[in-house]
Amino acid sequence: MNLLSGRGTLIRVRVLEACTLLEIDRANLRHVMQADAALGEIFLNAFLLRRVYLISNSVGDAVLIGSSHSSDTLRLREFLVRNGQPHTYLDVEADPEVQTVLDQFGVQLTEIPVLICRGTLALRNPTNSGATACCDRGSWFLGRL
């Protein structure tokens, strides 16, 4: 869906075995979907099912670390859910491995909530606009700031 709409990707993959990769650029994918209604419907259904899977299974490049007792954590969780952004939520009170992740990014417990995007950027208590910019340069949001 993101390819069709010009947005960035939500996930990255790694191939573990030798395989053949077929890359279809945006223009060609749109052409195929417009020219062949049956194939277009198959693609669209697959895209929608994958998106539902990503959201329901907390799969994606965004990790929110926070506390269920924090209003800012709740604000960010609601924002990510409302915008359909697949993410993983780690609660500092419930997950014993959170400190390892925080240490990896040099984040103190007093600085939560923290939003980690693409495994490289950690924002401490970001605004909704900051969360938009962090995860995918704003491309995955539908303008519901």
- 59-115 tens-digit pLDDT: 667 899 999 999 999 999 999 888 878 788 999 999 888 989 899 999 998 999 999
Given pLDDT bands bounded at 50, 70 and 90, which one contains residue 53? confident
Name the token pair of 40. Answer: 């277009």
First to last CA, the chain: 21
Distance of CA 19 to CAs 14, 15, 44, 48, 95, Å?
11, 8, 24, 25, 37
Helix runs in the chain, H state only: 2-5, 26-35, 37-56, 71-82, 98-104, 128-136
Given pLDDT bands bounded at 50, 70 and 90, which one contains residue 136? low
Higher pLDDT, residue 33 or 14: 33
**Interior CA angle at 124 toward 128 and 3, to 5°?**
50
